[in-house]
Structure 1
């Protein structure tokens, strides 16, 4: 069992959509999946859950909002701890340590640790307690390792085969703690200047965090604390294709596509002689813009659309293509994970 954080320093590349579809495809292939939303924007959570579920989880007390209580209470227990923000609330308030989260089972063998916009309040605590952890402060290390410990507790409850972690598009303290809790990092990229700049920032930052955590923090940490290893091994990248034919990208994008392998090699892997033909691209996911509105309305992955959802004729054929693409992507990710673990 391993964990994969999907992260890009640039937003808007389809990262959360990728996490959502990977979670469902792994589940379809007979895997037990835990999806974790550590992005305060909580887009992954809103992809899995409808507004009534979210209003209950986020304790929306507006009396004008009418719950379908019989449906809600069949899924959630009153008084439960459901979101990451609720789990770290005692730390934010200064009253205690993390609370154990009840993962939400959104489908058979597919669980979600929901996000919450309130998670942004945890940023200051994480930022303030980063440096004291270098000196072995137990309080600081408990705060920095909060996400890791929340995920570990959930792992013990649902025993997933894979954990997929959605992370916001920045290099702040929340994302540092989120990435430290992950074994590997998969990078969704667009073929543009902004993704290249993101790689230039991300690679050195990951190495710096890994070096400080493994060589300074872990060596001085008090015995008995449950801390992440801080590996964050780069797994590779997935190109998110813009709205054009997959086999004929326009010239404006082609030049960025050609530069990504060298930038990844140099800045993410820290190779002195970057290779133009590096094999770190896992796949290219074509643009499925015509399927997205149907999938959104049906509240299901694009590759699960049926004729009753409006997928007719050529659109239904596109759905089958989408299924094969994501099935192939999961196989390639598994191969990379096996290689990474083997190393």
Structure 2
């Protein structure tokens, strides 16, 4: 099992959309997939589930009652149960009454599951932040807190026998994301070709190296034998350029200018290569065109853009667009899996 976190310090680059579609495409390729929502905004959860299901999952029915939807809430949909989110799993630690709780993932389809997120996860941020420095002294309560995400995901992934775990996190360098990324084997970076994404990479790379170094040098040597702890690999797989609304073969000058700078910034900030590579495209996994016109249809149909049918409103020439979308995500999924295989064989990206 390999865990991949999708992360960029800059928001609005399509990170959650990429996580959602990669999870479905990996599933289409025959893998057992667990998608994990560690973003306190729970955007991945909202893409995967109906609002009535989320209400049921979060255990709050008052709004549904006001909307005259109480009957649907009471009978449920059959695939969600209250109290089965990542926030519920860490609640015993947060409240000081125990270790991680038992939660079950939500089945989206055979061999594809979601470990759902919750807005309540925000409450865990301060707890993680306060415990981080205590891990350097080998404080076991702090270590249990910091490794909570890793141990929860590991337990759930083992239960469903997942081949790959995709972890969606928020666009910041806070304590929740630190704990989430330490738990990941690899990091995939979606970005836009603009100043903000490049600045995000500049912040991200040195921060990941600091987190990795602190964990390996100061925490792991004090870890008790047999305790399940992550290695904080966070190996950079590469980046995916999420294209703005324009034709791929005719980028505007501003877009092209920023795009040309991405390899150097990635090489310097993320890979810490000296001297930096100015034009090496080896870590550019793919450029995905903008499929914004398909997103409303996909959202209404509760399915990936590349699975849209005429019955979903994807009519006429839109079906060609859907087929192009399928090909691009299929090629991306294969490219990501090839890089994961390279990590497993050599410890570095091939």
TM-score interval (norm. to shorter): over 0.9
Q: How many residues align?
A: 341
Structure 2 residue aligned with 1:253: 255
Structure 2 residue aligned with 1:334: 337
Aligned residue for 1:152, secondary structure, equals helix
Structure 1 residue aligned with 2:212: 210
1:117-266 matches, within 5 Å, as 117-266=119-268
* Contact 2:286/2:332 (8 A) holds in 1: yes
Question: Please, which of 109, 112, 115 is the counterpart of residue 113 of structure 1?
Answer: 115
Supply the distance in 1 between the matched residues of 2:80 and 2:287 (Cα, whole angstroms): 38
Is residue 72 of structure 2 the alignment partner of residue 68 of structure 1? yes
Structure 2 residue aligned with 1:4: 4
Alpha carbons of 1:67 and 1:82: their partners in 2 closer, same or farther (altered >3 Å)?
A: farther
* Contact 2:61/2:70 (8 A) holds in 1: no
Structure 2 residue aligned with 1:54: 54
Supply the distance in 2 between the matched residues of 1:110 and 1:34 (Cα, whole angstroms): 6
* Contact 1:98/1:146 (8 A) holds in 2: yes
Supply the distance in 1 between the matched residues of 2:4 and 2:149 (Cα, whole angstroms): 14
Aligned residue for 1:24, secondary structure, equals helix
TM-score, scaled to structure 2:
0.95
* Contact 2:193/2:259 (8 A) holds in 1: yes
* Contact 1:87/1:98 (8 A) holds in 2: yes
Aligned residue for 1:257, secondary structure, equals helix
Is residue 27 of structure 2 the alignment partner of residue 27 of structure 1? yes
Encode CA deviations 1:14-49: one digit per residue, 9 max, x unaligned.
Answer: 000000000111111111000000000000000000
Structure 1 residue aligned with 2:286: 283
Question: Please, which of 298, 303, 307 is the counterpart of residue 304 of structure 1?
Answer: 307
Supply the distance in 1 between the matched residues of 2:103 and 2:183 (Cα, whole angstroms): 16
Supply the distance in 2 between the matched residues of 1:266 and 1:287 (Cα, whole angstroms): 28
Structure 2 residue aligned with 1:44: 44
Supply the distance in 1 between the matched residues of 2:314 and 2:53 (Cα, whole angstroms): 27
Supply the distance in 2 between the matched residues of 1:339 and 1:73 (Cα, whole angstroms): 41
Encode CA deviations 1:208-233: one digit per residue, 9 max, x unaligned.
Answer: 00001011100112233211111011
Is residue 20 of structure 2 the alignment partner of residue 17 of structure 1? no
TM-score, scaled to structure 1:
0.97
CA RMSD of superposed structures (Å): 1.2
Q: Which consecutive unaligned segments of at least 5 residues does structure 1 have? A: none
Q: Which consecutive unaligned segments of at least 5 residues does structure 2 have? A: none
Alpha carbons of 1:274 and 1:67: their partners in 2 closer, same or farther (altered >3 Å)?
A: farther
